[in-house]
Structure 1
């Protein structure tokens, strides 16, 4: 199927104006077969991110063509056959050395680790800039995109899909609305990092980005991790929030574990927490963990069911003295 045929079919089935702009392209790589292999990862739902060299846009004087949220693309294979339609929902430009682990996971390659991503993309970006006088190093800027699959010929896609998004000002209104609803309901801000004490969305977004930066110096707590906004694709509403810790403090090791999460009060009881924890576990597997620890209050039956549904094994009840609460600690083997 040609790109034009697939685009026309997509627009017809999804009631989208056929004159809506889109790009058609195939994934690049340094090895033979990368174009088809990466397209197949998209079809399987493993790959939902990609990256390109910002310097190439500068060199070609086409900065106005930088991708942005909402952009459509038709993905091509090595024979220029169209395989699917995708749409960007998260785009940012960042120094290569600052790209966080979740983006590496989103690219879906190898073991999905940041180390693997850096190794593969160092070669890729050097090749991209090989015919220019621009060097590639840790400070070179890259364009990071996250996308959702909008259409695959002959395949039904889930209508209740959740998107997992790194905090950015593109979602500032949703974060603010989520925060207010949590405050109004008197809910605990589990998995929200410092959202409760940060009404300034720019401050909160910057804080989350800094926490995930693999090059930052360790603070007094020594923890690293990623905050993930959980966005319902059908209406782009923020329905949940997660903290996923890849390096634990002593407090986390003894009590709270690798993952914290919450669901928006008006969206509870819809199975979102189970999907969120499953995604967090899959993400943590990219760090090489064999097992993950998660805790909940003994009286929180909903959280307990979520943990058990994801393979949780009860270990012990621990007393967190500084908060004056008991916590049930669970282990999940990956």
Structure 2
């Protein structure tokens, strides 16, 4: 597997991010995990502004928590492989379902070990925030996500049925 790095999104990544979005859409995926509303913003610049607000305790929306969204980029060709959203704390909603981390991998790069590496790098980032353990959740039917979490030390705490009728698994990872 090629070496990857997590980087803060910047204007210079715009074309690569738009390509990342298009690949998901071309595969019938309209929701990008771990991207902090990327596809819901009216422009790339608006998304960058949103991320800046999300990372600042004084400007984050009252129903959200401070978070950092990063791009996972393959070093040799600078291709965006995925995104990861790291929440610095949990509110009631995130404690019940979402957890500290959401991440996604572009369709053409799945099943190559990148998600496991992206989560590993994200957990290292969580340590820099002073977190001692993190919560990560996934749908039970999404066995690749469960395997990614388990490979990074995730211990299943509970399962529950979400409002969409799907079974959710909640894991904790000690850092």
Q: Normalising by the residue count of structure 1, what TM-score does the alignment of the two structures yield?
A: 0.50
* Structure 1 unaligned regions, length at least 5: 1-158
1:243 aligns with 2:85: yes
1:96-121 CA deviation, whole Å, 9 max, x = no partner?
xxxxxxxxxxxxxxxxxxxxxxxxxx
1:265 aligns with 2:107: yes
- The aligned counterpart of 2:52 is 209
The alpha-carbon deviation at position 288 of structure 1 amounts to: 2.1
Give 1:193's match in structure 2, choosing from 36, 43, 60. 36
The alpha-carbon deviation at position 270 of structure 1 amounts to: 1.2
Higher RCO (CA-CA < 8 Å; seq separation 6+) = 2
State the aligned residue count.
Answer: 174
CA–CA separation in structure 1 for the residues paired with 2:107 and 2:64: 31
Highest CA radius of gyration, 1 or 2? 1
Q: Normalising by the residue count of structure 2, what TM-score does the alignment of the two structures yield?
A: 0.93
8 Å CA contact 1:222, 1:248 repeated in 2: no
- The aligned counterpart of 2:149 is 307
CA–CA separation in structure 2 for the residues paired with 1:241 and 1:274: 12
Give 2:2's match in structure 1, choosing from 142, 155, 160. 160
- SS of 1:247's partner is coil
* Structure 2 unaligned regions, length at least 5: none
> Which structure 1 residue ranges, 4+ long, deviate > 3 Å from structure 2?
none
1:171 aligns with 2:13: yes
8 Å CA contact 1:164, 1:229 repeated in 2: yes
- SS of 1:328's partner is strand
Seen in structure 2, the aligned counterparts of structure 1 residues 249 and 293 have a Cα distance that, compared at 3 Å, is: same
CA–CA separation in structure 2 for the residues paired with 1:288 and 1:236: 29
Q: Give the RMSD, CA atoms, in angstroms.
A: 1.5
CA–CA separation in structure 2 for the residues paired with 1:200 and 1:218: 19
